[in-house]
Amino acid sequence: MTVHELDAFIDGLPKAELHMHLEGSIEPELMLDLARRNGMNLPWLTADELRAAYHFSNLQSFLDLFWTGCRVLVQEQDFYDLAMAYLRRARADNVLHAELFLAPQNFTLRGIAAGTVIRGVKRAFEDAAREPGISASLMIIAQRHHPEAAAFELLEQMMPWAHEIAAIGMGGPEVGHPPSKFTNFFRECRTRGFRVVIHAGEEGPASYVREALDLGADRIDHGNSCIDDPALVRTIAEQQTPLTLCPISNLRLKVIPTMEAQPLRKLMEQGVRVTINSDDPSYFTGYINDNFKACREAFALTKAELIGLARNSFTAAFLSEDNRQRYLGMIDSYAAGAQ
């Protein structure tokens, strides 16, 4: 297939997204609209001015703007509008299933009720299942720069919605906040029956990825730095612990100097179950198909490899086996018809 044909193939390829922060999907126009709705003044008057601020030197510089964007989310309808906008945009990239991060501490610590946040998001999930036709589930993040006690408080706040939460995770500024800081928290999450996902190895060392494995993570979010520890890579491959890579995010945050430096190809060659995701697509100007295409270009991915990455997104997802097989069958049917 030609490059043009491969990109068209990516556009129609059924896929799941497993690493996307709802707060990071807010487009500039929506951020400004919600600021007006909630009587807030932002430093930017137009969407173009706001987009011009999307230049980051590292993870922390991004988080500073990310948290500013969180301030405009106040009412239940705000969270509905945020989630629905992403789900419509993802469905346009032929995302059929999305498992989405939300960090309630961004809101509850400034007095917004947890129910306001969760109800808005879940209502969007229900409506999106009907139109535009995408299934979605919620993963709750504890912010690692807060103490473990705050994570336990968050866990208690989330218990009324426990049956609707796909996993409990950890995000926020990584350096200086290893996963082991939350050993007791994740032990309690597992005791209560939650799956565990942990951001590790984005800016942190390979040892953080190993700690996440030791804490029983069902998936590692990012995991890039594991490539520095060959024994760790072998363990991840043997256990088939999925890594949710976010290539354009890594480039925008200067985690990697070029797309070719992303460890995707090396990890694939060593049998690691890797997936491609968008992380915070508005801020990094790259939704999931943009990420697939950037990797296709950087690593000369073949049609078979693109299919494998899409299949990984469903095999790594927290789905019932019936739904998983249904989605995998959709990939096979699509691939067979795209010769």
Catalytic residue ranges = 202
Amino acid at 325: Q
Distance CA 46, CA 40 (A): 14
Would you state the structure tokens that stand for residue 89, as one six-digit string?
């945009």
Would you state the structure tokens that stand for residue 279, as one six-digit string?
């992380």
What b-and-e string marks burial along 55-71, b requiring 16 or more CB atoms within 10 Å of the CB?
ebeebeebbebbebbbb
Sequence-distant (6+) residues with CB within 8 A of 221 are 19, 169, 171, 197, 198, 199, 200, 202, 243, 244
Q: In what order do the strands lie in the sheet with 135-143?
A: 15-17, 95-102, 135-143, 165-171
Q: What angle do CA 256, 167, 28 make, to 5 degrees?
A: 55
Distance CA 55, CA 57 (A): 7
- Note every long-range contact of 322-326, with CB atoms under 8 Å and residues 24 or more positions apart, other chains counting: 323/97, 323/135
Asked if residues 263 and 270 have their Cβ atoms less than 8 Å apart, the reply is no
Could you give the 3-state DSSP secondary structure of residue 61?
Answer: helix
